[in-house]
Amino acid sequence: MKYSQTFIPTLREEPGDAVIASHRLMFRAGMIRKLSNGLFTYLPLGLRCFRKVEAIIREEMNAAGSLEVKPPVVVPGELWKESGRWESMGEGMLRVKNRLGGDFVVSPTAEEAFTALVRDELSSYRQLPILLYQINTKYRDEIRPRYGVMRGREFVMKDAYSYHDSEESLDEHYRAQGAAYRRIFKRCGLTVLSVKADSGSMGGSGSEEFMVESEVGDNTLLLCANGDYAANVEKAECRRDDAPPRKAAEGSPGPAPLETIDTPNVKTIGELCAFLKARPGDFVKTLIYRAVNVELDLSTAPGCGDLPRRKTSPGAPETYPEAFFAAAIRGDLEVNEVKLAAALKASEISLAADADVVRLTGAPVGFAGPVGLNTLPIVLDQTVTAMDDAVTGALEKDKHHRHAAYGRDFGGWMIADIRTVKAGDRCPLCGGELYEKKGNELGHIFKLGRKYTASMGVSYLDENGKTRVPLMGSYGIGLDRTLASIIEEHHDENGVIWPLSVAPWQVIIIPIKYQGAVREAADGLAAELEAAGLEVLLDDRDERPGVKFNDADLLGIPWRVVAGDKNLAAAVPAVEVKRRSEKEARLTPLAAAAGEIAAAVRGELAALTAG
């Protein structure tokens, strides 16, 4: 293709709102333009690269046995009401009404649409597993879209869904999808981290995220220095012996008796440490939370016996629209609210309002504690169960207990890991030190179990004629974010450095002056390369060489060939050949240039797809 036949409006200036390299370079290289906040148009060059990423994903999904379908982007709201997510997805989901007043959703994700499709077609175990995927547009009404296409409101995702008659079948396809994701990201030239993750509003029994390191990443990752462990902070675990709490003195007959002490105007952990000359790890910190849409059975939980329940749809489990809980954790640690929500099977949690804290504990904020707290269920972090000489709030203003012992003075309705893991904690597998990195999620795979199939009434007859509900898996990749992440990993101060697999063209030919013998040589070389199956951009513009070189670097095309009068007039006509990733060009005989470049391109592409 000739440059004069393209539409590549490059920019010398960077957009004022661009913070990260991919945002800057996608604008400057003429890949995208902003239509509105969080809404972007892909221009021809950007779309060429986008389609390369899409093709890689499609090839690997097909190879993994998934079959492509294309559901609509706008789906009936009734499906979301059946699954129970009409309310729980919150304001990020764009809800619309048609002219007849019917509720519809501009899809932020596609579990409901795919499950409705399978529900209508599935009847026998012989049809399972069913493996389907789409590459389709999504919309999420982000409060603050930023970083260009890295976090826009409208975007494209690959969503795959699988339906199974056994855990073994689900596990097998879950592993196959994970392997396919690793191949996809390798072929795109990306270095990814695979981390354990929370399933969030998706639900289910397990999930894995594929992350790229980023200084402006939305996720905090905890990684083991020995390479044994990686997890999102929302899911990360650690060894419990990294900071042992104070226990009864050695040689003493046991914990001292529980004692109530006056602590006037002292309520924070820091103030208590100074007042009692103690360490933060000597305290049990108790916080009161409000939880929404709780799926657990709370009929026997303290203070919850008469809470109202509701069904969001005929097949959905009963939930409690609202319930309150106490969360108790060692004083030097922080509650991980994502872990707490998962333990409570709640769609969301938040700290209770001050008035609710007073109503439930009988004391102002800052004086709650597990001793004698019988008005609401207590969730104890695992670390608290090792404490037998702790300081806690005494459920009374300006009062605290000391020498509180787990099992003697207090217990819990639930014991769970609800701590936030941080850098310096110990790896749960090998004991090595954990460190933090920021990352952005490119892909996420879930074992959803029967969360959606049960709530939406999907069933089949097994080999014995009994009605069963299938298990489900979900597997997503963001195409826009993947493309932006490739640029984040592959660029320099001059522009993009595309991996060959996703480059808009593989070779750019720059004639110093597109006329005479130079034109003839450039046209001939372009024809040879194209005949060899390579994608070529011929810069036929009437521009200065410096402008052409700068644009070639900005566009990031992997191979650059420069044709000029001087080298073509030599005894052995030659051209300058340069890799975008290398500093120096080399002279190559014109007659050999096409063969050498084609061989190099084929070899590099083969290496990306190997393994």
Q: CATH number of the domain that 343 lies in?
A: 3.90.960.10
**215: alpha, beta or left, given left = phi > 0 and alpha = psi -120 to 50?**
alpha
Segment 510-532, tens digit of pLDDT:
999 999 999 999 999 999 999 99
- What H or E segment, with its residue span, contains residue 167? helix 167-187
Residue that is last in its domain, among 416, 446, 477: 416
Q: Does the residue 250 lie in any domain?
A: no
In this structure, the answer to whether residues 444 and 546 fall within a common structural domain is: no
Say whether pLDDT at 349 is over 60.
yes
In this structure, the answer to whether residues 175 and 100 fall within a common structural domain is: yes
In this structure, the answer to whether residues 293 and 362 fall within a common structural domain is: yes
In this structure, the answer to whether residues 411 and 444 fall within a common structural domain is: no
Say whether pLDDT at 537 is over 70.
yes
In this structure, the answer to whether residues 402 and 543 fall within a common structural domain is: no
Say whether pLDDT at 243 is over 50.
no
Over residues 372-401, mean pLDDT? 94
Range of the domain at 566: 505-609
In this structure, the answer to whether residues 76 and 198 fall within a common structural domain is: yes
Q: Does the residue 24 lie in any domain?
A: yes
What φ, ψ does residue 212 adopt, rounded to 5°?
Answer: -115, 140
Lowest mean pLDDT among 81-85, 416-420, 443-447: 81-85
Q: Does the residue 425 lie in any domain?
A: no
Helix, strand, coil percent values for the chain (each to nearest 5): 30, 30, 40
In this structure, the answer to whether residues 403 and 454 fall within a common structural domain is: no
In this structure, the answer to whether residues 388 and 455 fall within a common structural domain is: no
User: CA 259 from chain center: how many Å?
Assistant: 48
Three-state SS annotation for 418-446: CECCCCCCECCCCCCEEEEEEEEEEEEEE
In this structure, the answer to whether residues 287 and 409 fall within a common structural domain is: yes
Residue with tokens 């009734």: 78
Q: Does the residue 296 lie in any domain?
A: yes
Please indicate whether residue 474 or residue 235 has the higher confidence score (pLDDT): 474
Over residues 2-6, mean pLDDT? 96
pLDDT band with cut points at 50, 70 and 90 for residue 58: very high
Segment 105-126, tens digit of pLDDT:
999 999 999 999 999 999 999 9
Number of domain units in the chain = 3
Say whether pLDDT at 83 is over 50.
yes
Asked if residues 448 and 204 have their Cβ atoms less than 8 Å apart, the reply is yes
Looking up residue 577, the CATH number of its domain turns out to be 3.40.50.800
Q: Does the residue 544 lie in any domain?
A: yes
Segment 563-582, tens digit of pLDDT:
999 999 999 999 999 999 99
Segment 255-270, tens digit of pLDDT:
789 999 999 988 788 8
Say whether pLDDT at 548 is over 70.
yes
Asked if residues 447 and 204 have their Cβ atoms less than 8 Å apart, the reply is yes
Asked if residues 213 and 230 have their Cβ atoms less than 8 Å apart, the reply is no
Say whether pLDDT at 456 is over 80.
yes
Looking up residue 107, the CATH number of its domain turns out to be 3.30.930.10
Q: Does the residue 499 lie in any domain?
A: no
What whole-number percentage of the chain has pLDDT above 90? 79
Cα–Cα distance between 122 and 59 in angstroms, integer?
26
pLDDT band with cut points at 50, 70 and 90 for residue 453: very high
Q: Report the DSSP beta bridge partners of residue 449.
A: 472
Say whether pLDDT at 246 is over 80.
no
Say whether pLDDT at 73 is over 70.
yes
Cα–Cα distance between 188 and 480 in angstroms, integer?
13
In this structure, the answer to whether residues 161 and 288 fall within a common structural domain is: no
In this structure, the answer to whether residues 475 and 516 fall within a common structural domain is: no
In this structure, the answer to whether residues 459 and 532 fall within a common structural domain is: no
pLDDT value of residue 581:
93
Nearest CA among 392, 362, 377 for reference residue 324: 377
Q: Does the residue 253 lie in any domain?
A: no
Q: For 428-573, list the strands marked E by DSSP.
A: 434-449, 460-461, 467-468, 471-478, 491-492, 495-496, 507-511, 536-538, 559-563
Q: Does the residue 427 lie in any domain?
A: no
Residues with Cβ within 8 Å of 359's Cβ and at least 6 positions away in sequence, in order, are: none
Cα–Cα distance between 515 and 512 in angstroms, integer?
9
Token readout for 330 is 């060692």
Segment 150-181, tens digit of pLDDT:
999 999 999 999 999 999 999 999 999 999 99
Please indicate whether residue 319 or residue 25 has the higher confidence score (pLDDT): 25
Cα–Cα distance between 303 and 361 in angstroms, integer?
11
Q: For 467-607, list the strands marked E by DSSP.
A: 467-468, 471-478, 491-492, 495-496, 507-511, 536-538, 559-563, 574-579, 586-589
Say whether pLDDT at 314 is over 70.
no
